[in-house]
């Protein structure tokens, strides 16, 4: 094909493509206002997600503070709860703060690299959840059970402690398994998709 | 400087882009919304280092890549549903619209079957970007863009002539 024929074909393809519209294209609404509304809805979703994420921690802190003040439970329980909640919230917060930015205005190659790095960070965070989330929560429950058993040391109470300990451990193992089975699998698939795009970009 | 008002000019192109990356109407609408929001959020950061078109298409294609990588669920059944839903745009000249729509569907099908990276290059060219602009959006050299586009142009042309023969 000559260059002239190529250019002619390009023009035909462009015309055929650019006249193509779908139902949505014929709408006569004010897109600027519409996009503004979508952006506001997006901001609201992020706000509520953050509120739920950190709000649950704040509720635990307030409750523990009240328990501590009232002396309702042995002081070690609210104190452990506060320490563990601060640890988990602090860990998540600093991970979010250090998240590598993905610039939407980067070229496609740079964007894919940044996206891959971000997914790797998420995989690392999810994979380590057993240490920064499940383990501290498990420790908290064990402290609660031990405290209970020590306050009223009798055979029944010790047996109850054993059962509670086993249940808490089984629950922790289940959470770790679910996280690695389902949470990690989605991220690994996303990583594979971006990797395959990088491979595709390398092949001419 | 790209103003919010100027986004309106790119709406048809962004809709075509969303349709090319997705399998059905709902996904296409979701992606279009994500692109629109990403552009809205990126606008204040635009410093004019690149052209307005390059900026808009960079943000749009990057958002589409994130969408297909992180959120998209592929399904052939949904693909068929979308194809049946595509209709002529204006009721004023239905015959001309029907011909255009047929051409567009054939081209859309051919573009949709391309690997994602080739599809990016083709979509940008079909929207009228120069080789240099496509290179700026994709991060390839101009030579690589030209080589890739030349190969894909041949594939598209073969597929379209095959589709025309089938129609006859």
Q: How far is CA B62 from CA A1, A194, B159, in A?
A: 33, 12, 27
Percentage helix, strand, coil for chain B under 3-state DSSP, each rounded to 5 = 80, 0, 20
Sign for the CA dihedral angle at B64, B69, B72, B78 comes to: positive
Average pLDDT, integer, range B158-162? 78
Quote the pLDDT of residue B140: 95
| Spatial separation of the C-alpha atoms in residues B122 and B134, rounded to whole Å | 9
- Asked if A111 and B62 come within 8 Å (Cβ–Cβ), the reply is yes
Which residue among A20, A104, A115 sits closest to B16, beta carbon to beta carbon? A20
Inter-axis angle of helices A31-70 and B4-21, nearest 10: 80
Mean pLDDT, rounded, for A108-119: 94
Of B8, B59, B127, the CB nearest to A105: B59
pLDDT category of residue A145 using cuts at 50, 70 and 90:
confident
CB A119 within 8 A of CB A191: yes
> What value does the mean pLDDT take over residues A103-108?
91
Smallest CA–CA separation between B157 and chain A, in Å?
A: 8
Put simply, whether A71 touches B (Cβ < 8 Å) is no
List A residues 96-125 in contact with B (Cβ-Cβ < 8 A).
102, 104-112, 115, 119
Under 8 Å CB-to-CB from A184, ≥6 apart: which residues? A123, A126, A127
State yes or no: pLDDT of A49 exceeds 50.
Answer: yes
CB pair distance less than 8 Å for A107 and B29: no
CB-neighbour burial class of residue A4 (10 A; exposed 0-12, middle 13-18, buried 19+):
exposed
Residues B133-153 have a mean pLDDT of: 94
Task: Say if residue A45's pLDDT is above 70.
Answer: yes
pLDDT score, position B168: 60
In chain A, which residue's Cα lies nearest the Cα of B30?
A38
Longest dimension (CA), chain A: 95
Q: Give the pLDDT mean for A117-137.
A: 93
pLDDT value at position A23?
47
Residue B94: predicted pLDDT: 67
Nearest CA in chain B to A37: B37
Closest residue, chain B, to A24 (C-alpha): B15
d(CA B113, CA A89): 45
The per-residue pLDDT of chain B, averaged, comes to: 82
| Residue A25 pLDDT level (bands cut at 50, 70, 90) | very low
In chain A, the N- to C-terminal Cα span, in Å, equals 20
pLDDT of residue B81: 43
Q: What pLDDT, on the 0 to 100 scale, is given for residue B163?
A: 64
Q: Which residues of chain A have a CB within 8 Å of the CB of B69? A: 115, 190, 193-194, 197
Cβ neighbours for A43, distance < 8 A, ≥ 6 positions apart: none
> Which among B119, B159, B90 has a CA at the least distance from the CA of A19?
B90
Residue carrying structure tokens 């009798």: A154
User: Would the pLDDT of A17 be above 90?
Assistant: no
Q: Which band of pLDDT confidence, cut at 50, 70 and 90, is reported for residue A159?
A: confident
pLDDT at B50: 84
CA distances from A4 to A8, A10, A11, A160, B128 (A): 6, 10, 11, 86, 17
Q: What angle do the packed helices A3-18 and B94-112 form, to 10 degrees?
A: 110
Q: What is the pLDDT of residue A162?
A: 85
What's the average model confidence in pLDDT over A46-66? 89
Do A18 and B127 meet the contact criterion of CB atoms below 8 Å apart? Answer: yes
Contact A104 B147 (CB under 8 A): no
Answer whether residue A54 shows pLDDT above 90. Answer: no
Distances (CA, A) of B168 to A16, B15, B84, B163: 19, 30, 21, 9
Nearest to B128 among A14, A36, A109 (CB): A14
pLDDT of residue B14: 92
Mean pLDDT of chain A: 86
> Could you report the per-residue pLDDT of B44-65, keeping only the tens digit for each?
888 888 888 999 999 999 999 9
pLDDT tens-digit series, residues B70-115: 875 544 444 444 554 455 455 566 666 676 677 778 888 889 889 9
Q: ipTM score of the complex?
A: 0.82
Confidence of residue B31 (pLDDT cuts 50, 70, 90): very high
CB proximity list for A157: less than 8 A, separation 6 or greater: A148, A149
Instruction: Test B68 with A193 for CB contact under 8 angstroms.
Output: yes
Mutation pick from B11, B37, B118 vs chain A, by most beta carbons of A within 10 Å, is B37
Q: Percentage of chain A surpassing pLDDT 70?
A: 92
Distance from CA of B97 to the nearest CA of A (A): 9
- Distance CA(B100)–CA(B116), nearest Å, equals 25
Contacts B102 to A, Cβ<8 Å: none
Looking at the complex, report in whole angstroms how far the Cα of residue B71 sits from the nearest Cα belonging to chain A. Answer: 8
The answer to whether residue A44 neighbours chain B at the CB level (below 8 Å) is no
Q: Answer whether residue A191 shows pLDDT above 50.
A: yes
Chain B residue closest to A43 (CA)? B37
**Over 70: is that where the pLDDT of A68 sits?**
yes
What pLDDT score was predicted for residue B76?
42
Interface A–B counts its CB contacts (< 8 A) at 155
Residue B164: phi, psi to the nearest 5? -65, -40
Label residue B125 by pLDDT band (50, 70, 90). very high
Residue B59's nearest CA partner among B42, B45, B72 is B42
């Amino acid at each position: 094909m000559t260059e002239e024929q190529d250019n002619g074909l390009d023009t035909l393809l462009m015309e055929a493509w650019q006249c193509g519209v779908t139902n949505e294209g014929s709408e006569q609404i004010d897109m600027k206002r519409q996009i503004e509304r979508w952006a506001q809805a997006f901001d609201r979703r992020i706000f509520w997600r953050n509120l739920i994420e950190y709000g649950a921690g704040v509720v635990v802190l307030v409750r523990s503070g009240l328990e501590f003040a009232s002396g309702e439970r042995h002081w070690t329980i609210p104190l452990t709860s506060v320490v563990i909640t601060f640890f988990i919230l602090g860990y998540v917060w600093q991970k979010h703060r250090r998240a590598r930015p993905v610039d939407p205005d980067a070229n496609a190659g740079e964007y894919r690299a940044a996206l891959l790095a971000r997914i790797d960070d998420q995989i690392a965070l999810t994979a380590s959840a057993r240490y920064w989330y499940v383990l501290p929560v498990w420790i908290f429950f064990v402290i609660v059970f031990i405290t209970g058993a020590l306050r009223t040391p009798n055979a029944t109470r010790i047996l109850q402690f054993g059962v509670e300990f086993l249940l808490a451990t089984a629950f922790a193992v289940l959470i770790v398994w679910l996280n690695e089975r389902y949470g990690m699998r989605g991220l690994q698939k996303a990583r594979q998709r971006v990797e395959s795009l990088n491979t595709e970009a390398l092949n001419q | 400087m790209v103003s919010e008002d100027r986004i309106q000019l790119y709406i048809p192109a962004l809709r075509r882009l969303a349709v090319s990356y997705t399998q059905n109407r709902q996904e296409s609408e979701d992606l279009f919304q994500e692109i629109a929001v990403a552009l809205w959020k990126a606008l204040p950061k635009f410093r004019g280092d690149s052209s307005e078109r390059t900026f808009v298409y960079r943000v749009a294609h990057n958002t589409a890549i994130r969408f297909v990588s992180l959120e998209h669920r592929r399904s052939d059944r949904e693909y068929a549903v979308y194809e049946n839903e595509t209709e002529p745009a204006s009721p004023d000249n239905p015959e001309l619209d029907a011909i255009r729509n047929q051409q567009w569907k054939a081209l859309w099908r051919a573009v949709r079957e391309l690997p994602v990276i080739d599809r990016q290059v083709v979509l940008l060219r079909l929207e009228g970007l120069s080789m240099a602009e496509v290179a700026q959006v994709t991060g390839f050299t101009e030579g690589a863009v030209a080589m890739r586009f030349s190969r894909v142009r041949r594939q598209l042309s073969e597929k379209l002539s095959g589709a025309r023969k089938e129609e006859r």
